[in-house]
Homo-oligomer: A and B are copies of this chain.
Amino acid sequence: MRARILGSAAGGGLPQWNCGCDNCHAVRRDDPRVRARTQDSLAVFRGEHAVVCNASPDIRDQLAAAPRLHPRGVRGTPISAIVLTNGDLDHVLGLFSLRESQPLAIYATAAVRRGLVEHNAMCATLSRFPGQVVWRTLELEREVELADPAGAPTGISVRAFPLLGKLPVHLAKLSPSPEDNVGLSLRADGRELVYAPGCALPPPGLGDGADALLFDGTFWTSDELIRLGGTARAEDMAHIPISGPEGSLALLGRCTATRRIYTHINNTNPMLALGTAQRREVVAAGWEIAEDGMELLS
């Protein structure tokens, strides 16, 4: 099993279209201390099969930049399955960029699927022909082997587990469910990768024993957006901040994952810039900071 971080930014990416924060400004003036980042997504490979976790709005660029995800033949894709961790727009908009005469197998909890399919006419564009999308339901805490649209097994298994989160703005009228936001344990060939890009509170033991934990690195502090004139705290958006006594760096201090990596990083997060105290603190604690195109495992 190999993995590639297709995108490591939170919703909006880096730079974000309407943001002039220090990080966005640095990327626009080509400051080498801050790298551009596309929105959160992960690809996992085994043999001929590729599985993409979350379909970000940047998926066209992300696939173009990854030779192993290029089509084989005149029409086709090595992507055997897509797994969704929630219904956030930065995790599902990319599905509409995968419209074409191409069957897709999409794995999601029943709650995520309902929110996406039953409330958006655009999903009809993914039902152009019978079998275009094969939806497969992720049940919480049940490990399943991922299969391609025709049912061929990939050798990669997934177990979804509940993570404290929040319904996306466009589905805020629906009843909350523990299936609204999940983490994924991906396994193949005796390796395990845990992917938890959005999380309000890490459950005890998260990532323990895994080869790698990819965890929500959205915000450094709770009031990061408020300092820039916004109104929402990190907690209001169901993202635990990294810093502070109640932050993820403290709460996951005893996690025994071989590698611990922050991803889904908001453009405003000061740890994105080389040379900041925040970046030094994360690295000193044994964490890595994801970058687009970063490869994991082998």
Contacts and interface: CB of A to CB of B under 8 A. Distances in A.
Nearest to A59: B17
A17 B100 contact: yes
A178 interface: no
A120 B57 CA distance: 17
Q: Could you say how many copies of this chain the assembly holds?
A: 2
B120 A20 contact: no
A267 to B, nearest CB: 11
Interface residues of A, number: 56
A157 interface: no
B169 A125 contact: yes
Interface string A89-112: 100010011111110000000000
A123 interface: yes
Q: Which 5 A-B pairs have the closest CB atoms?
A: A119-B121, A124-B170, A125-B170, A20-B71, A18-B77
29 contacts: A17-B63, A17-B77, A17-B98, A18-B77, A18-B98, A18-B102, A19-B100, A20-B71, A20-B76, A24-B71, A28-B64, A28-B70, A36-B64, A57-B60, A57-B96, A61-B61, A74-B228, A74-B229, A89-B96, A93-B96, A93-B97, A119-B121, A120-B120, A120-B121, A122-B122, A122-B170, A124-B169, A124-B172, A124-B173
